[in-house]
Chains A and B, each alone.
Chain A
Amino acid sequence: MAEKILEVSDLCVSYECARKTPFEKKKSIQVLKEVSFSMEKGEILGLVGESGSGKTTLARAILGMIPYEGTIIKTIENPQMVFQDPYGSLNPSKKVGWILEEPLRLKGGYTDEERHEKVVAMLHMVGLDEKFMDRYPRQLSGGQRQRVCIAGALMLEPKLLIADEPVSALDVTIQAQILELLQRIHKEMDLSIIFISHDLRVVYQMCDTVMIMKDGQIVERGTVEEVYFNHKSEYTGNLLQSAGIDINS
């Protein structure tokens, strides 16, 4: 059995609701209810669910961006994230080169030339060339921005990448290119990926295993084939049917 890189057990996350009057009792909504799962090295795990199912919250808890109860054991360092909106996730006032150098600057221990070389290499890796270093995000197309975002997340060579709906804001043909890029990087950089999406077709194409979430709980977890063609829960069937996927074909 492969090495486990992530083990989540009894994970609970709740948000406090805003009170309408100061006298009202504090109420909280539980977004994740005792979520437990583990992930192996090199796995591409699809995380599927409708809005409000808690998939983004789970990602944030894993990244340590929000407080949680329960345990999350990570055997890898600094997991990185690629966000859905390639327009909001690049600082509009900085050039691409600066954005990509920033993680190296923060980590420290690199000379200016080393940083430059690494950025150029990474741009080539994601299918862009070095002239993009002097461009501002607003001068890039959606697909190019998402490539820059991926490059930024990979600068420190993380072993786990969480991609939160990375292609849902993109056109279909661009979408296909980005998926291809993620698959190539997965192989070349020995990366594990948590791929969050509401698009069941994309998840099928991209992922090895899949986890279906509903109302803060895991409904189903298994390999893509198992879950798509031999699903145990009615909800999964409902999702597949809604997406117009005919499992008998």
Chain B
Amino acid sequence: MIRNGKKNYNLIVGSIITGFILLLILVGTFYTPYDPDAMDAASKFAGVSLKHPMGCDNFGRDIFSRVLEGSRTTFIVAAGTVFIGTFFGIIMGALTGYYGGIVDEILMRFNDAMFAFPSILLALLFISLFGSGKYQVILALGIAFIPSFARIVRSEFIKCKNMDYVKNAKLQGASNIRIMFVHILPNTVTVLLSAIMIGFNNAVLAEAGMSFLGIGVQPPDASLGRMLSEAQTYLFSAPTYAIFPGLIIILMVLGFSLLGDGLKSEE
């Protein structure tokens, strides 16, 4: 973490924030103080107290428990999205970058067309076709994310495929698939990693945005965006309902951007 005498603060702070969020999610998976969906009319709009550290919402549900649950949902959606985007992006980028020619031309034009739509619009289209829900959101956002990853991987492959070590591998009789995924792919990791970090952030925001609009995760499931959307009606009666989910989104995005920047400068 120390290079050229300068501490990599981005990496350090990013790791701490991300670690904290991950810890929160991990704890939330096994233990929540209350059932996140359990309603309790007596504690409707309860303020911050020892019993309810973040207060309660309009149904008397414990906001802290819901934040724990919601962070997990949001995290799973973001991770799933990035996984789909990266996996298919790598395959598409590797094929187009390595082979070039007509395959490249067709796939990349298709890519351009997808790029021209905002990813949230594409996701909207997808949701209206297949219905809404956690898994639909992952699939929709994932597909919308493929082109940006494909593009990054493609340009890295174009850079690497003319290197002498690739020629050498060919001379030694390595197959194209082996050259692509064993010889070239590891060299794209650093670029890919920071792309994944940025993609993750975009996915968090996109999920929050979609749930806020009511086309993402459906009630009674909690997600950070969903909670924000529910909170807007009660902004004055239960401000903590909006503040804490918002805070977690900010921390999640901040942590991952810092981590991404830190990793980039580490190379």
Where the two chains meet, the residues of A that have a C-beta atom closer than 8 Å to any C-beta of B are 63, 65, 78, 80-81, 83, 85, 88-94, 102-103, 106-107, 149, 152-153, 156
Main secondary structure of the interface of A (DSSP, over half): loop
Where the two chains meet, the residues of B that have a C-beta atom closer than 8 Å to any C-beta of A are 163-165, 167-174, 178, 183, 186-187, 189
**In this complex, what residue of A is CB-closest to B162?**
A88
Whether the Cβ atoms of A83 and B173 lie closer than 8 Å is no
A-B contact pairs, 18 of them (CB 8 A): A65-B170, A78-B171, A78-B172, A81-B168, A83-B164, A83-B168, A85-B164, A88-B163, A91-B165, A91-B169, A91-B187, A92-B187, A93-B186, A106-B174, A107-B173, A149-B168, A152-B172, A153-B168
The 6 closest A-B pairs by CB, nearest first: A89-B164, A93-B186, A83-B164, A88-B164, A103-B172, A91-B165
Residues on A with beta carbons closer than 8 Å to the beta carbon of B163: 88-89
**In this complex, what residue of A is CB-closest to B186?**
A93
**In this complex, what residue of B is CB-closest to A63?**
B171
Residues on A with beta carbons closer than 8 Å to the beta carbon of B167: 65, 81, 83, 89
Residues on A with beta carbons closer than 8 Å to the beta carbon of B169: 91, 102
**In this complex, what residue of B is CB-closest to A86?**
B164
Whether the Cβ atoms of B173 and A106 lie closer than 8 Å is yes
**In this complex, what residue of A is CB-closest to B170?**
A65
**In this complex, what residue of B is CB-closest to A84?**
B164
Asked, given contacts A91-B183, A93-B187, whether A156 binds B172 with beta carbons under 8 Å apart, the answer is yes
Whether the Cβ atoms of B189 and A93 lie closer than 8 Å is yes
Whether the Cβ atoms of A81 and B171 lie closer than 8 Å is yes
Whether the Cβ atoms of A89 and B165 lie closer than 8 Å is yes
Residues on B with beta carbons closer than 8 Å to the beta carbon of A92: 187
Whether the Cβ atoms of A106 and B172 lie closer than 8 Å is yes
A sample of 16 more A-B contacts (CB under 8 A), given A103-B172, A106-B174, A152-B168, is A63-B171, A65-B167, A65-B171, A78-B171, A78-B173, A80-B171, A81-B171, A89-B167, A89-B168, A93-B186, A93-B187, A94-B186, A106-B172, A107-B173, A152-B172, A153-B168
**In this complex, what residue of B is CB-closest to A91?**
B165
Whether the Cβ atoms of B165 and A88 lie closer than 8 Å is yes
